Amino acid sequence: MKRRVVITGLGLVTPLGIGVQDSWEALIAGKSGISEITRFDTSDYQTKIAGEVKGFKSEEFLPKKDAKRTERFIAYGVAATRMALEDSGYTIDSSNENRIGVLTGCGLGGLATMEKNLHILETKGPKRVSPFFIPMMIGNMAPGFISIVFGAKGPNASVATACAAGSHAVGDAFRIVQNGMADAMITGGMEAVITRTCIAGFNAMKALSTRNDEPEKASRPFDLNRDGFIVGEGCGILIFETLENALERGAKIYAEIVGYGMSGDGYHMTSPPPDGNGAVRCMEAAIKDAGLTYDQIDYINAHGTSTQLNDLYETRAMKTVFKDCAHKVPISSTKSMTGHLLGGAGGVETVFTALTLQRSIIPPTINLDNPDKECDLDYVPKVSRTEAVQVAMTNSFGFGGTNASLILRKFNDTPGK
């Protein structure tokens, strides 16, 4: 019999704040974390805005000797993990270290480190390249470093499925605990690629918003005047453990994770199919895995990137899946406030979804000033909504046509529920 898996700890580092409470309060207040880029000179760039994490200091979360040589995405992961473990009260020691693992998602890894060392290579030669170049750059060093810092010696892996990476990591961690490969998992996603090459690359694809004069209004999912997404950065970490263990130690339970769906579009490198077929199959798979029906979903945290095609095609997909309920279920894109955290999006948005269930507040979709007539669902425009949510879905769809959907349920201690 598959084991029930619950969420007992949360950690966040986002453009909205450092820590769960600061991020959540800004989110439900409808505040934007988008501002002018400060990491580099954007004079020659079409896009000059992003969702930067402000006021983060690595040395507050890492040993001093590691802080300076740890890539930003790794530091975010360690910080959010420290928060999540403290929140959960879960202690890792010799009695359980082999039964708790780390599984996180990251789309691009240490792009800043790569840029820096390529410049050194070209200007000063190969002997001047840092010995920390490779360890700082590779995506799997995030879960690796987390396991070293906190002593988690169970399953350890990293997922790299573009913008679906965080959600795939969360779903895979769910399976690991559900099937008995570990008793607890540290999971989520992180990203920190507000860099020259990242912004230049997405600009070349015409994927980013260029609403530079109004940063806070630039990310506008489902709005008729949306003109592209905003790159964000940060990390969302969750502690998963068996229900049995959580109850035994009297842990606070945010929500239960009950469903996970995956699919592939098999259509295009960057564009989803117009009918949203891959997203349809992904959401349907998650609902089936949870043993639910479409009319039992009370809230959807949409992928909602603020690009023309994604928002339209995801809307079509939700209409296909939810049929007569499509116009009734509240939907929001928290990316309207955080920007798109790429591989970190799924982790952060799963944390937001868990909080929606626990606190009975649905975050808004801000900047929805002029709704696209083809995007005509209930996107909870501009203002958060107080409403009890029993079952919620969160979606992540990535380049290459890779899709992930997760279903969380408000914890119910009735056996079999």
Q: How many CA atoms lie within 13 A of 285 on its CB side?
A: 17
Question: Average pLDDT for residues 123-144, to the nearest whole number?
Answer: 94
Q: Are 101 and 241 in contact (CB under 8 A)?
A: no
Residues facing residue 239 across a β-bridge: 9, 186
Strand 402-409 and strand 391-398: the pairing is antiparallel
Q: 248, 280, 298: which is the final residue of a domain?
A: 248
∠ CA 40-45-49, nearest 5°, is: 65
254 domain residue, yes or no: no
384-386-391-393 Cα dihedral, nearest 10 degrees: 0
Question: Does a structural domain hold residue 244?
Answer: yes
- Here the CATH number for the domain that contains residue 372 is 3.40.47.10
* Same domain membership, residue 208 and residue 238: yes
Mean pLDDT in residue range 59-72:
87
Residue 307 sits in which domain range? 260-409
Report, as residue numbers or ranges, the catalytic residues: 163, 303, 340
**Residue 162 pLDDT > 60:** yes
Residue 352 covered by a domain: yes
Residue 416 lies inside a defined structural domain of this protein: no
Q: In the prediction, which pLDDT does 407 show?
A: 98
Instruction: State how many domains the chain has.
Output: 2
pLDDT digits (tens, 9 = 90+) for 100-113: 999 999 999 999 99
Q: Which of 248, 270, 291 is the last residue of a domain?
A: 248
- Statement to judge: residues 16 and 145 lie in one domain: yes
pLDDT in tens, 255-268: 999 999 999 999 99
pLDDT above 90 coverage of the chain, percent: 94
In this structure, the answer to whether residues 67 and 195 fall within a common structural domain is yes
pLDDT exceeds cutoff 90 at 416: no
Q: SS3 for 387?
A: coil
Pick from 194, 213, 248: which residue ends a domain? 248
Q: Is residue 22's pLDDT more than 90?
A: yes
With CA atoms as reference, report the closest residue to 403 among 312, 311, 285, 259.
285
Q: Please indicate, yes or no, whether residues 224 and 291 belong to a single structural domain of this protein.
A: no
pLDDT tens by residue, 195-231: 999 999 999 999 999 999 999 999 999 999 999 999 9
With respect to residue 171, please indicate whether it lies within any of the assigned structural domains.
yes
- Band of residue 170 on the pLDDT scale cut at 50, 70, 90: very high
Does pLDDT of 66 surpass 90?
A: no
Q: Has residue 415 got a pLDDT over 70?
A: no
Residues 265 and 177 in one domain: no
92 and 189 in a single domain? The answer is yes
Residues 148 and 289 reside in one and the same domain: no
Whether residues 268 and 229 fall in one domain = no
The confidence score (pLDDT) of residue 270 equals: 84
Give the model confidence (pLDDT) of 68-95 as tens digits. Answer: 789 999 999 999 999 999 999 999 999 9
Query: What is the phi/psi pair of residue 24, to 5°?
Result: -65, -45
* 297-310 tens-digit pLDDT: 999 999 999 999 99
* pLDDT above 50: residue 417: no
Residues 290 and 380 in one domain: yes
Residues in the chain, total: 417
380-407 pLDDT tens trace: 999 999 999 999 999 999 999 999 999 9
Pair (180, 275) in one structural domain? no
Say whether both 270 and 233 belong to one domain. Answer: no
pTM, two decimals, is: 0.96
Is residue 405 in a domain? yes
Residue 356 lies in a domain: yes
Residue 176: is its pLDDT beyond 90?
A: yes
Quick one: 237 and 287 in the same domain? no
What is residue 65's predicted lDDT score, i.e. its pLDDT? Answer: 82
Residue 120 covered by a domain: yes
pLDDT of residue 69: 81
